């Protein structure tokens, strides 16, 4: 079994396992001019020190690039002095397919996300996430990689929000190919919680 097939099967099994035990789940869809991303997240556990979230997503674009990720975050409020600020930290497994270069890569990244709900504007949502994988945790054709994402959203319903955002997923491929974007685009998205 190839690394790609093994990773897809692992993601599928982990998502099914999480769905059966999760208290809260969400599905997200983001559409750009040339890209689409579909994500799923669920809380799989909790403690007095925060909740554990399992998440994954699949992205593809018109450049024939593909990106698949599976992450695990510990999520909690930043503290009583920062109401509305939620922080998540943890690892992410990233798999890349670059269409033009005919290259693939696997990387283990560390990073996190910030979500902020301003007290004066109850329905406004601000978010930022960043993940980085150095050379020591990058494999196959990738030397290092990173993912950046920022968004501004509005809670339309208690279980549905719409947002505008920008993301960049970038990898440094081996053999002198240099840094290449898997995706760099603005997008419109929605997230549904249940």
Residues linked to residue 164 through DSSP beta bridges, in sequence order: 152, 188
Write down the pLDDT at residue 15. 54
Q: Is the pLDDT of residue 31 over 90?
A: yes
How far is it, in rounded angstroms, from Cα 159 to Cα 78? 23
Could you say which DSSP state residue 146 is in?
Answer: E
Instruction: For residue 191, give the nearest of 3, 26, 20 by alpha carbon.
Output: 26
Tell me the whole-structure pTM to 2 decimals: 0.85
Instruction: Report, as an integer, the average pLDDT of 65-80.
Output: 88
pLDDT digits (tens, 9 = 90+) for 143-172: 999 999 999 999 999 999 999 999 999 999
In the beta sheet, which residues pair with residue 94? 69, 107
Using the structure block, give the residue that is written with the tokens 């922080």. Answer: 87
pLDDT surpasses 70 at 3: no
The full set of domain ranges for the chain reads 3-193
Domain 3-193 has CATH 2.40.128: yes
């Amino acid at each position: 079994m190839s690394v790609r097939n093994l990773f897809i099967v692992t993601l599928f099994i982990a998502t099914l396992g999480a769905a059966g035990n999760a208290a809260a789940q969400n599905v997200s869809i983001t559409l750009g001019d040339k890209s689409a991303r579909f994500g799923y997240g669920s809380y799989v556990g909790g403690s007095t020190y925060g909740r554990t979230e399992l998440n994954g997503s699949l992205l593809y674009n018109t450049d024939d690039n593909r990106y698949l990720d599976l992450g695990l975050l510990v999520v909690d409020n930043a503290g009583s002095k920062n109401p509305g600020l939620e922080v998540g930290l943890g690892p992410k497994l990233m798999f890349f397919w670059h269409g033009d270069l005919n290259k693939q890569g696997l990387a283990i990244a560390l990073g996190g996300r910030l979500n902020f709900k301003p007290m004066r504007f109850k329905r406004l949502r601000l978010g930022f996430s960043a993940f980085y994988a150095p050379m020591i945790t990058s494999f196959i054709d990738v030397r290092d990689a990173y993912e950046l994402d920022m968004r501004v959203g509005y809670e339309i319903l208690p279980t549905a929000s719409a947002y505008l955002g920008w993301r960049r997923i970038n990898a440094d491929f081996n053999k002198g190919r240099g840094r290449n974007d898997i995706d760099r685009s603005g997008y419109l998205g929605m997230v549904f919680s249940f």
